[in-house]
Amino acid sequence: MRADVEYSPVGEGLGMSEFWLYVWMRRVAVIAAHVIAVGLTVLISLLSRPGTSLFSWHPVCMSIAYLLCLTEGILLFSPEGTPFCFKARKGKVRLHWFIQALVILAAATGVGFMVASKNVSERPHLATWHSLLGVGTLAATVLQAACGICLLFPKLLKLSPPRLKLYHATCGLVVYLLATVTVVSAMFSDWFQATVKGVVWYAFLLLPLFPALVIMNQITNAYLPRKKITT
Q: Which of 231, 219, 161 is nearest to 7 (CA)?
A: 219
Point out which residues pair with 4 in neighbouring strands: 229
Q: How far apart are CA 114 and CA 193, in angstroms?
A: 18
- What is the model's pLDDT at position 109? 97
Pairwise CA distance, residues 57 & 113, whole Å: 6
Residue 4: per-residue pLDDT:
45
Query: Can you tell me the distance from the alpha carbon of 84 to that of 68, in angstroms, rounded to the nearest whole number?
Result: 14
Return the pLDDT at 23. 74
pTM: 0.86
Largest interatomic CA distance in the chain: 67
**Alpha carbons 29 and 35: distance in angstroms, whole number:** 10
**pLDDT recorded at residue 101:** 94
The pLDDT profile of the chain, 231 residues, written as one tens digit per residue, is 344 444 445 555 556 777 677 778 888 999 999 999 999 999 999 999 999 999 999 999 999 999 999 999 999 988 776 666 556 778 888 899 999 999 999 999 999 999 999 999 989 999 999 999 999 999 999 999 988 888 877 777 676 777 788 888 889 999 999 999 999 999 999 999 999 999 999 999 999 999 999 999 999 888 765 544 343
CA distance 45 to 194: 16
The pLDDT of residue 182 is 97
Specify the pLDDT at position 153.
Answer: 74
- pLDDT value of residue 14: 54
CB 179 within 8 A of CB 70: yes
Which one of 1.20.120.1770, 3.40.718.10, 3.30.70.260, 1.20.200.10 gives the CATH number of domain 16-220?
1.20.120.1770
pLDDT at 12: 55
Query: What SS3 string covers the chain?
Result: CCEEEECCCCCCCCCHHHHHHHHHHHHHHHHHHHHHHHHHHHHHHHHHCCCCCCCCHHHHHHHHHHHHHHHHHHHCCCCCCCCCCCCCHHHHHHHHHHHHHHHHHHHHHHHHHHHHHHHHHCCCCCCCHHHHHHHHHHHHHHHHHHHHHHCCCHHHHCCCHHHHHHHHHHHHHHHHHHHHHHHHHHCCCHHHHHHCCCHHHHHHHHCCHHHHHHHHHHHHHHHCCCEEEEC
What backbone torsions phi and psi does residue 228 show, to the nearest 5 degrees?
A: -110, 140
Residue-wise over 31-57: b if at least 16 C-beta within 10 A, else e?
eebbebbeebbebbbebbeeeeebbbb
Q: How far apart are CA 56 and CA 46, in angstroms?
A: 10
